[in-house]
Structure 1
C-alpha cells in the first residue's frame, strides 16, 4: 500500500473521480475533502459529522451526516467515543463541488428524525440506499425528487453497504454482530430474501464495505486493520492489512486509470492509502 494523503481527520466514504483525485469525508473535520493525486487536500465544510458520500445523478455529492461525534486519542490513534455535544441526529446533505455550496436534503423519514447515518449507494435509477446505524434501518431515497422511505429495518448496528455489479444484490455489514448480510433487489427500493453471506460470530467487527468488479464484498475489518475480501459465495478469498496497524480502517473504494486501484481509509491514523487490486474494480453509478 502507498500513502496518498495523511493528516486527515478521521477519513471515511472515499469516492474515486476520473481526474485522479479522491473525495473523502472527514468526520472529525466536518468536511468533504478532495485529495489530489499529489496528496494536496481541499475541503468543503459540511459541519456535523460527514460519515459517507456518493455522487448522485445530478452531479452533486450526497453526504450522510451523523450529526457529529466526540473524539479522543490513545496510542497515537484518534477515534470517536460518543456523540458530540449538540448532536441532534443525522441528515443528508447535498454538496455542489463546483459552487462549494452545502444544503440539507433530509432530516426525517415518515415523521421520525433520522439517526446517525453511515453509508450511501446509488442504483441505476438515480435513487439511493442509505444506512441509519443507530435506528438499524436502510432507507431508500430519491434526493432529486425529495422522497425517502424505509427499505429494511430491524438490523443490528448496520454500517457499510454496496450493490453487486449487476445491481441485483444489496450487501450490508453489521459492526458488532460480525454479519455481512445480502438481499435480493426485486425492484428499485424493494428488498427480499435476506441471507447471511458471512459471519465472524462477533469475533471481529466490520466497518464500511465496497463491492469490486468480480462481485466480491470487500469489508473493512476493524480487528485485523485492513480489508477482508468475501466472494459472492461467502468464502474469504484474501485479507489486506495496512502497513501501520489501525483498529479504525473504515472504508474502501475503487478507481484509477484502469479502475483497479483500491483506495483505503485508515481513519484512526488519518491516512488514505492506494493499492493495486488483484481483481477488477467497480465503477459506481454516476461516478465521474
Structure 2
C-alpha cells in the first residue's frame, strides 16, 4: 500500500503492494521560500547541513529529495521537514527503487546519526548525496518542523485530554500581541516585518496593516479604535480609524521600549516598559524598567519601577484585578484596581512553573496573559501555557512546540485559545471562552 500523507489532512491511501509503514511522501505548505544556493557537494562522508543549507535545498524541489529514515512514531513525536520521503533505515535497501536518481538526496534523522549511516548506504549504491540533517539540530537553529502531534493534558473546564494543538503556521518574522475581532478572527503583530497579520476564522492568513511603527501589542476600544504599543518610536497609540499618539513620554523622558498593555472599559490603559538599552550619545531614557497607568484623561502615572522585567498585562473579567507578568520573576503579580483606575494592593498571585535560574539570571519566561469568562488566568511562560484558577491555584500546563509569547481567545464563540511566539501561531479548542468585551 502506498501512503500519501500531508501534515494538515488525513492520509490518502492508494492500492499497491507496499506495506503501509514502508514508504510515505509528506507534504506541507508554509515553508519559508529562501534564496536558492548552490547544492552542497557530497564528499566521502556526507556533510551535516546547517539550517541555511537545508532551507536553500528546500527551495529547489526539482533538484533534491529528502528521505526521513525514522519510524513514523518518531516523526509524529518530533516533527520533520515540510517535504520528505519516509523510509525507515531498516527498509532502505528494500525500497531503493522508489528513490529518484535524477535528484540529490538528503537523509534525515533526529541528530543525523542514522542519517549519516543511510547516506553512506545510498552513496555506495550510486546516489548523489548532498548531506545529512538532524531535525532537532535544525529546530534549534530556528527551522520550522511539521507533522508533530502535540496534545493537551486534561484541565477541568478548560481542555479535554489529548486535545490537539493545531499549528496554524510557522515562519513568521516575530509573533506577538494577539487580539480577537468580533467575527472571531484574530490579529497579531509580526514585529520584524512591521505589520499586523489577520488569522481568519476560516483559517486564512492575510496582512491587515503594515508600516505602522513596529507594534508589539494590540487592543480594541469600546469605540472600535485599534490601539497599539509601538516600539519605533516608542509610544501608546491609536492606529485606526485616525492614527494618533496617546503617550510617548513620562516626566519629560521618552519611554524605553513599551511591551504590552491592557485597556479597561473606562479607557484607562495599563502598560509595561521593560526598557531599551542606553544608546551612546542618546538622551537618558525613562526609568528602566517601569510599569505605568495612562488614565482616561491622558495623564501617565508611574505604578512601579522595581519590577525586573515587567511584561504581559491583563484585567480580570470584572476589571477589579490587574495581572502583570515579570519575565525575571517567580510569581505572577496582581494589583487591585481602585474605583478611580489607580492600582493598589500589589501581591504575588501565582507561582510560575517556568521559573528557572539561568546563565543570564533568573527567568520564568513569563510573557503574555489572557483570562477566560470564568476568571481563569493563562500565562505564556517557558513551561508553556500555565493555567491558574481565579484564586491563583495552578490548574495545569499546556506545552507547545515552541515557547509561547502571547495569548488570546478567538474563533467561533471565542472558544479557541490562540498562542503566538517564536514566529509560530497555534490554536487550541477549549471548553471555555474568552471575555466578551472590548479592550484586551
Task: Write the distance in 2 (CA, Å) between the matches of 1:7 and 1:104.
Answer: 31
Q: Does 1:194 align with 2:335?
A: no
Compute the displacement of 1:228 (Å): 0.4
Task: Write the distance in 2 (CA, Å) between the matches of 1:160 and 1:283.
Answer: 20
Compute the displacement of 1:241 (Å): 1.4
Q: How many residues align?
A: 255
- Given that 1:151 and 1:189 are in contact with CA atoms closer than 8 Å, whether structure 2 keeps it comes out as no
Task: Write the distance in 2 (CA, Å) between the matches of 1:286 and 1:180.
Answer: 21
Match of 1:214 among 355, 369, 374: 374
Question: Which residue number corresponds to residue 44 of structure 1?
Answer: 209
Q: Which runs of 5+ in 1 are unaligned?
A: 68-88
Q: Does 1:255 align with 2:410?
A: yes
SS of 1:232's equivalent in the other structure is coil
Map 1:63-142 to 2 at 5 A.
Answer: 63-67=228-232, 90-96=234-240, 102-134=243-275, 135-142=288-295
Task: Write the distance in 2 (CA, Å) between the matches of 1:16 and 1:285.
Answer: 9
Compute the displacement of 1:3 (Å): 2.7
Instruction: Determine which structure has more spread, i.e. the larger CA radius of gyration.
Output: 2
Compute the displacement of 1:66 (Å): 2.6
Task: Write the distance in 2 (CA, Å) between the matches of 1:205 and 1:40.
Answer: 27
Map Cα deviations across residues 68-97 of structure 1 (whole Å, 9 max, x no partner): xxxxxxxxxxxxxxxxxxxxx62122111x
Match of 1:230 among 356, 373, 388: 388
Q: Which runs of 5+ in 2 are unaligned?
A: 1-164, 276-287, 357-363
Map Cα deviations across residues 212-254 of structure 1 (whole Å, 9 max, x no partner): 12212200012x2x20001222221011112x2x23x101111
SS of 2:367's equivalent in the other structure is strand
Question: Which residue number corresponds to residue 117 of structure 2?
Answer: none
- Given that 2:408 and 2:418 are in contact with CA atoms closer than 8 Å, whether structure 1 keeps it comes out as yes
Question: Which residue number corresponds to residue 76 of structure 1?
Answer: none
Task: Write the distance in 2 (CA, Å) between the matches of 1:65 and 1:286.
Answer: 17
Give the 3 Å change call, closer, same or farther, for CA 116–284 of structure 1 in structure 2: farther
Give the 3 Å change call, closer, same or farther, for CA 188–57 of structure 1 in structure 2: farther
Task: Write the distance in 1 (CA, Å) between the matches of 2:290 and 2:376.
Answer: 23
Bigger relative contact order (CA 8 A; separation at least 6): 1
Output the TM-score relative to the length of structure 1.
0.80
- Given that 2:328 and 2:366 are in contact with CA atoms closer than 8 Å, whether structure 1 keeps it comes out as yes
Question: Which residue number corresponds to residue 197 of structure 2?
Answer: 33
Match of 1:4 among 150, 168, 193: 168
Task: Write the distance in 1 (CA, Å) between the matches of 2:425 and 2:250.
Answer: 33
Task: Write the distance in 2 (CA, Å) between the matches of 1:207 and 1:44.
Answer: 24
Compute the displacement of 1:278 (Å): 3.1
Question: Which residue number corresponds to residue 131 of structure 2?
Answer: none
- Given that 2:167 and 2:426 are in contact with CA atoms closer than 8 Å, whether structure 1 keeps it comes out as yes
Deviates more, 1:205-214 or 1:148-157: 148-157
Give the 3 Å change call, closer, same or farther, for CA 103–31 of structure 1 in structure 2: farther
Larger % of strand: which?
A: 1
Larger % of helix: which?
A: 2
- Computed over aligned residues only, the root mean square deviation of the Cα atoms, in angstroms, reads 2.2
